[in-house]
Structure 1
Amino acid sequence: MIVIKNANIHTMMDVNYENGTVFIDNGKIVNVGENLTIPSNSTVIDAKGGFLMPGIIDAHCHLGMLEDSIGFEGDDVNEATDPSTPHLRALDGINPKDKCFDEALLGGITTVSTGPGSANVIGGQFVTMKTFGKTLNEMVINECSAMKVAFGENPKRVYSSFKKCPSTRMGTAAILRENLIKAKNYIEKKNNAKNDPTKMPEFDMKLEALSKVINKEIPLKAHAHRADDILTALRIAKEFNLDISLDHCTEGHLIVDSLKEEHFKGAIVGPTLSDRSKVELKNLTFKTPSILNNAGITVALMTDHPVIPLQYLPICAALASREGLSEEDALKAITINPAKILDLDNKVGSIEQGKDADILIYNGHPFDLRNKLSFIMVNGNIVKNEL
């Protein structure tokens, strides 16, 4: 049993403890509260009044797929040869030895959702994983957690250079619809063939992958910056009765009244700590998270690493707080909210009994950049202890 005492605990569940204690056993949090009796055989860590919170989660990045300081040899983020590649899996393109894993971990980011980029209309399957572990298999939480799709400038820019579809937003929507319809028909044929194997359709790896989306086993992870692209993504999701998260959602604040009437998993906002590198980013602002949050939308923040290095996600949260998001809501936007959007809130994102023991301790509030991250624990393993 490991016990952390004398901590200012922010659980992310609207119950905080000024002088709290956390019990950890077998990699899990087994108790949290105040005035708890510490078993005599425990390993006790004195937090010395430090700010204790759950490990930070980035719900959208490309960690391990666009490796640091390498160039082409380490660039496995976009298979820009076919606008529809749902059968690709991020798991097969990640290098867990990329030094950015260590930088992310030492910055307090303990869980990420990483995957293909936005060159293709359908890019492939994201993976959710811890940033700590000896092997990729050990680090993975869910090897197929979402299906990346992309709207807006990126697919049309890539494929117009090849003189092929999509070169317009119409083309992007049409390709996505076409493949979703094919997947629906594929599922129907397989179901009809259960009693007659001779009717079984020929195996199609792409449609097998998209079947998970149609069956709502995984959501669409929709790259959409501009307001019209956001609404197109939602329109198609509604048309096929799909689960969807809105990733980037740069102009979400411009259509907040429409968004609050829609049903989707949440908005993963960012990367905002960056320049306006293309037209669809012209309305980029750190006010977006607070406007969406105030409308009752589940908001997470993301770096889109390597666009913003992962370790700077707390800075993004601090800037969002400066622009209207409360400190507590800004902390939730990098912990429990991304956990909810990624369907991981039964494992990570808060300091609760039964959750993975992913724990950070700062010597002050993490939004004060002069403060230091003194203690890091992942799955009950102490990664750093400078208390």
Structure 2
Amino acid sequence: MQSMLLTNGLLFDIESGKIQKKDILISNGKLKTISDRISIEDNIHKTIDLQEKYVLPGIIDCHTHLGIIEEGTGKIGVDNNETSDPVTPHLRGIDGINPLDIAFKDAVSSGITAVMSGPGSNNVVGGQSAVVKTFGKIIDQMILKNPIGLKVSFGENPISTYGVNSKSPVTRMGITALIRELFMKTQDYMVRKEKNKIKERNMRFEAVIPLLQGKIPLRAHAHRADDIITAIRIAEEFHIKKLIIEHGTEAHLIKDYLVEKKVHVAYGPMLTPRIKMELRQRHYSAALELAEAGVKVALITDHPYNSIEQLRTIAILAKVEGLSLIDALKAITLHPAEILECDDRIGRIAPGFDADLAIFNGNPFDINAKNHITIIDGRIVFTRDKK
């Protein structure tokens, strides 16, 4: 890969929020050097004077259905819920993500360089999700981490999908019982497997084993406070090491409990009406309450329920409600990287990290600013000059 030098960029310090003018040297798809001044050398193939444009780490959305609910296709492009069965741990998001979904272009043009995408929430157990870069044509070449968790869902969605047809789950107790049954059967399967008593592999149990071994987190769709607490109860019962609450509409009502249990929240989507009872307590300042309490919060679009390009807008709205600039910045960069366990590669502008950058023609937390250049793995994949 060729090297590229970006000069005179304005960078936010991820800890202090201060803005510093820096040069950035990119080599072999990685950030090599960040310094006040980098000399132009013969081995630098391309130099761009950013003229004091603002540079963010590539923006990250840690909960979407990008490519698995395709835009502009109708029902044929909706692959997020295998509603033939409420318990489908063996489904893999990468088998349904279409990188040619037009929404990937929206992500790139908005400075979003990585997302988590995967199954929806109609099933009690939906399957495995993946972290992917947002530029490419072959999903296998875009994967950053796979799998990055097993999806389970509490509350209204599974009940309204199956319970209305008098099929389990009809109640919240039914939801939890199905999850518990799957995990217990997987434990039994693991014992038999260790004793070489398995005649043939079981795809469903095999998909749960990494969760019970602590290799991947449990990603729990939960809006109501009682559902969040149930998710914690299940995680503790089966000694699951990491639990992520996705959505967390009422998470602020139990914020101290979440801090005690060290549970992180992928909060949102925010730009939707309260069309379900579970959303009655949702308000824009909830992210502020969670952050002030010490809960690690990432903001999400849940694309396409909020369009992927609205992620920065959501961060701006949270900042308007009082979220500090640093916390708003972390909520769309560092925190989602940490929640996705990819913070050794993305989420910061630091030597050795992937060269994923979003470059804005104004302060990114000004709604009037526009993403000017997107760089993924050291390659310019979008520039507004050529649009």
TM class by shorter chain equals over 0.9
Matches for 1:1-387 after TM superposition, within 5 Å:
1-14=3-16, 18-42=20-44, 43-193=46-196, 199-242=197-240, 243-264=242-263, 266-386=264-384
Whether the 8 Å contact between 1:186 and 1:201 is mirrored in structure 2 is no
Are the counterparts in 2 of residues 12 and 335 from structure 1 also a CA contact under 8 Å? Answer: no
Match of 1:25, as an amino acid? S
Q: Report how many residues are paired.
A: 381
Contact in 2 for aligned 1:56/1:335 (Cα 8 Å): yes
Task: Note the C-alpha offset of 1:376.
Answer: 1.0
Moved over 4 A (4+): 13-17
Match of 1:196 in 2: none
Letter in 1 for 2:5: V
Compute the RMSD of aligned alpha carbons.
Answer: 1.4
Secondary structure, in 3 states, of the residue corresponding to 1:7? Answer: strand
Partner Cα distance (1:145, 1:259) in 2: 21
TM-score (norm 1): 0.96
* Counterpart residue identity of residue 88, structure 1: L
Q: Where do 5+ consecutive residues of structure 2 fail to align? A: none
Q: What is the letter of the counterpart of residue 186 of structure 1?
A: Y
CA distance in 2, matches of 1:359, 1:282: 36
* Corresponding residue SS for 1:297: coil
1:241 is displaced (CA, Å) by 1.2
| Per-residue CA distance 1:124-179 (angstroms, 9 max, x = gap) | 01011001013111111123111110001000111112211101000000000110
1:244-299 deviation digits (Å, cap 9, x = unpaired): 101001101111122111133x1100001111010000011111111111111111
Contact 2:63 2:117 (8 Å CA) reproduced: yes
Mapped partners of 2:201, 2:140: distance in 1: 27
3-state SS of 1:178 partner:
helix
Superposed CA offset, 1:42-96 (max 9, x none): 2211111111111110000101111112221111110011111000001111111
CA distance in 1, matches of 2:367, 2:217: 35
Q: CA deviation at 1:120?
A: 0.6
Q: For residue 244 of structure 1, what is the amino acid of its counterpart?
A: L
Cα shift at 1:17? 5.2
In 2, Cα distance between equivalents of 1:249 and 1:325: 17
**Normalising by structure 2, what TM-score?**
0.96
CA 25–32 in structure 1, closer or farther in 2 if over 3 Å, else same:
same
Cα distance in 2 for partners of 1:200, 1:177 equals: 22
**How far did residue 200 of structure 1 move?**
2.6
Per-residue CA deviation, residues 327-368 of structure 1 (Å, 9 max, x unaligned), is 121011000100000000001011011111001111111121
* Distance across 2 between alignment mates of 1:48 and 1:56: 21
Q: Is the 8 A contact 1:17 1:33 kept in 2?
A: no
